[in-house]
Amino acid sequence: MKNNSDNECGWRKLSENEISQLKQQNNSADDWNDISVVRTFSVLNIRNCHFSGHVKIEENVSMSNVMHIENYHIGANTRLSNIGSLTFTEEHYGYTLELCNEDGRFQVVAVPEMNSTDVFQCLHTGNPALFEHEAPTEQQGYIGKHCTIENVTAIRNVHIDSFAELSGCCEIEHSWISSSEEEPVRIGSTVILRNGIVHKGAHIDSRAYLADVLVGQQVSIAEGARVYQSAVGDNSHISGCEVGHAFIYPCHEQHHSNSFLIAAHIQGQSNIAAGATLGSNHNGRKNDVDLVAGRGFWPGLCSSLAFPCSFAPYTLIAKGDYPKPLSIPFAFSLINNNVKDGCLEIMPAFWWMHNAYALMRNEWKYQNRDKRIKHTQYYEFKPLAPDTIQIVKENHRLLTQHLAGKAELPKMEMSNRPVRILKEKEAIAAYREMMLCYVLAEGVFNNSPENLIDILENNTELQWINAGGNVLTTEQWKQLCSTTSLKEAHALQLDYVDENGSFMSLNDALNLLPYLCEGDVTPSRIIELCREAIAAQIRFYERVIAERTKDLSAEFRLTNPLFPYKKKEAMDDNICQTALQEKEKLEKILH
């Protein structure tokens, strides 16, 4: 049936001649009167198809060997070929995901256009159906303009936006696929997708199985990966592994076929190594426990964790079986299971002291790999940022008091075996350096000492939260939680980018001055801090270059008899080039 708006758009019935020609081209229909076409429609490229229900076809559409098409609107310049069935029987564009835990306690009703900050908002407000999706006016399936869909077994109840490419898929059902000319979605060979929302630029291929998922922008899932009951943040890459009941923030990497991640809340910029087995029902009496890890989480090769466990940002876990649950509060730390001595070893600030090149490269890497054209949220890629620095400050305070015998460390392993803190004095110094470099990077020392003292009198200390990859102040978070409109939420999220990029992060860094000065905030002390910060940043860049130089000059690398590496210098590396340039700039300022 048509209404007046349909007629204004130029829809019409097929003519008798067109029906006759379609029949000659081996097409059939339950009722030819249920088919609507635009005025410029041509039957020439419609062959070997059967139509059922209400079907709309725009201009320049090519359809061949579509065995059954029912209740679909086909956009202009779209090509469909070799499809078993293309049917729409019910409208359902909200999919319930059971995230972070396998017992269903954390549910989110995922709708189109929802990003990871929106998912976080649903979880933390305790309202799974916080956001609603405006239903399409047409009660039928939709395939947008300039799409290519070929060699697909079945498509059922799926909305497909323009410029999408589906080739060789097994089955796509009950899903919403957002796509655009700038960021087309590509779904390939033998993929199965059920109850999913796929955002722009995503690429799903090579036997991937997805069910009950939210797939972010520019996400790649391939090589037989199984992803279910999960929300995967933008710019993530998953292949050959199993991910279930997981909430993953943007920029997650999990490439290997023998790892799995079950019942987890991973806060992005993470990398799961081969052989890592992170799953709740493998080490608990019931599958009702989970893992929470701050951004920059790197469990090493063949690492196995006992749930429940939690980790501060930038935790690196050495290869090993960790038989008891862990709760690690120290950011940028290295965790090692020392089986020989029967103890757990923790080196706080390890990344800063011994992995500077990786820290600098990761920031560059994640920025460089962000291929989104249209942004609905902003991510914090810098290792030293408000969310991590507030933890670094607490880590520095705790270790300083512990070393002085004024504080006990919290329990970090659910066992009675010893926990060793390695290089505690060096870690305290490293955490201080990190705060100084953060203050320097945020431009605090661009102001006169007298001006800084004046600002501090009225400055308030800020608390920060990593909300789905979007680092917000608690006040911003409260404001965001007051809206239930995705459009309004995304507008607020982008407004906060400019806000945080200007005075919010500057004020946050400024608040560190009294702590770093031990309360003695005077012009002369601020000048000393500035010099100390520049020297600390120079040493960091020196470590970046030294670490890469050590890698490139490794003896076996240069003496491999079969495939000798071409000798390279650290300065051939763009990360080291940047480190050297920044180091030289700071040296000129310092001297």
Report yes or no on 495 lying in a domain. no
Report yes or no on 372 lying in a domain. no
Which tokens go with 369?
Answer: 């790999």
Question: Which residue matches tokens 């010099």?
Answer: 531
* Distance of alpha carbon 464 from alpha carbon 479, whole angstroms: 14
Which tokens go with 421?
Answer: 């803190």
pLDDT digits over 394-416, tens only?
Answer: 999 999 999 999 999 999 999 99
* Distance of alpha carbon 516 from alpha carbon 519, whole angstroms: 8
Q: Which residue has the higher pLDDT, 561 or 363?
A: 363
> Does 2 have pLDDT greater than 50?
no
Model pLDDT, residue 3: 39
> Does 8 have pLDDT greater than 70?
no
Any bridge partners for residue 62, and if so which? Answer: 79
Mean of the pLDDT values across residues 304-330?
96
pLDDT digits over 42-55, tens only?
Answer: 999 999 999 999 99
Neighbouring C-beta atoms of residue 396, cutoff 10 Å: 23
Least confident of 48-57, 94-103, 149-158: 94-103
Model pLDDT, residue 458: 84
| Degrees, nearest 5: CA angle 331-337-339 | 160
Model pLDDT, residue 498: 63
Model pLDDT, residue 500: 54
Q: pTM for the whole thing?
A: 0.94
Report yes or no on 533 lying in a domain. yes
Which tokens go with 580?
Answer: 């050297």
Q: DSSP 3-state assignment of 187?
A: strand
Least confident of 21-30, 84-93, 230-239: 84-93
Q: What is the mean pLDDT of the chain?
A: 92
Model pLDDT, residue 480: 93
Mean of the pLDDT values across residues 202-206?
96
pLDDT digits over 495-544, tens only?
Answer: 887 655 555 778 889 999 999 999 889 999 999 999 999 999 999 999 99
* Distance of alpha carbon 206 from alpha carbon 222, whole angstroms: 5
Report yes or no on 158 lying in a domain. no
Model pLDDT, residue 563: 63
145 touches 58 (CB < 8 A): yes
Model pLDDT, residue 4: 38
* Distance of alpha carbon 5 from alpha carbon 413, whole angstroms: 66
> Rounded to the nearest 5°, which phi and psi values hold at 196?
-130, 155
Model pLDDT, residue 299: 96
Mean of the pLDDT values across residues 102-125?
94
* Distance of alpha carbon 555 from alpha carbon 553, whole angstroms: 6
* Residue 140 DSSP class: S
> pLDDT-based confidence at 228, cuts 50/70/90?
very high
Model pLDDT, residue 565: 65
Model pLDDT, residue 496: 83
> pLDDT-based confidence at 284, cuts 50/70/90?
low
* Distance of alpha carbon 249 from alpha carbon 396, whole angstroms: 27
Model pLDDT, residue 7: 45
Report yes or no on 586 lying in a domain. yes
Count of structural domains, the chain = 1
* Distance of alpha carbon 93 from alpha carbon 200, whole angstroms: 16
Distance of CA 251 to the CA centre of its chain: 4
Report yes or no on 545 lying in a domain. yes
Model pLDDT, residue 132: 82
Neighbouring C-beta atoms of residue 555, cutoff 10 Å: 7
Report yes or no on 434 lying in a domain. no
Q: What is the domain range of residue 542?
A: 528-590
Model pLDDT, residue 283: 64
47 touches 117 (CB < 8 A): no
Q: What is the DSSP string of 22-72?
A: HHHTT-EES-GGGEEEETT---TTEES-EEES-EEE-TT-EEEEES-EESE
> Does 217 have pLDDT greater than 70?
yes
Model pLDDT, residue 559: 74
Report yes or no on 579 lying in a domain. yes
* Residue 508 DSSP class: H
3 state SS for 284-323: CCCCCCCEEECCCCEECCCCEECCCEEECCCCEECCCEEC
Least confident of 62-71, 126-135, 243-252, 345-354: 126-135
> Does 441 have pLDDT greater than 80?
yes
Least confident of 260-274, 291-305, 458-472: 458-472
> Does 62 have pLDDT greater than 90?
yes
Least confident of 139-153, 269-283, 443-457, 561-575: 561-575
177 touches 171 (CB < 8 A): no
Question: Which residue matches tokens 């905030």?
Answer: 521
Model pLDDT, residue 18: 97
* Peptide bond before residue 299 is cis, with ω within 30 degrees of 0: no
H helices, E strands: number in the chain: 15, 40
Query: How would you class 118 by CB atoms within 10 Å of its CB: exposed for 0-12, middle for 13-18, buried for 19 or more?
Result: buried
Q: Which residue has the higher pLDDT, 590 or 224?
A: 224
pLDDT digits over 348-391, tens only?
Answer: 999 999 999 999 999 999 999 999 998 888 889 999 999 999 99
> Does 135 have pLDDT greater than 90?
no
353 touches 334 (CB < 8 A): no
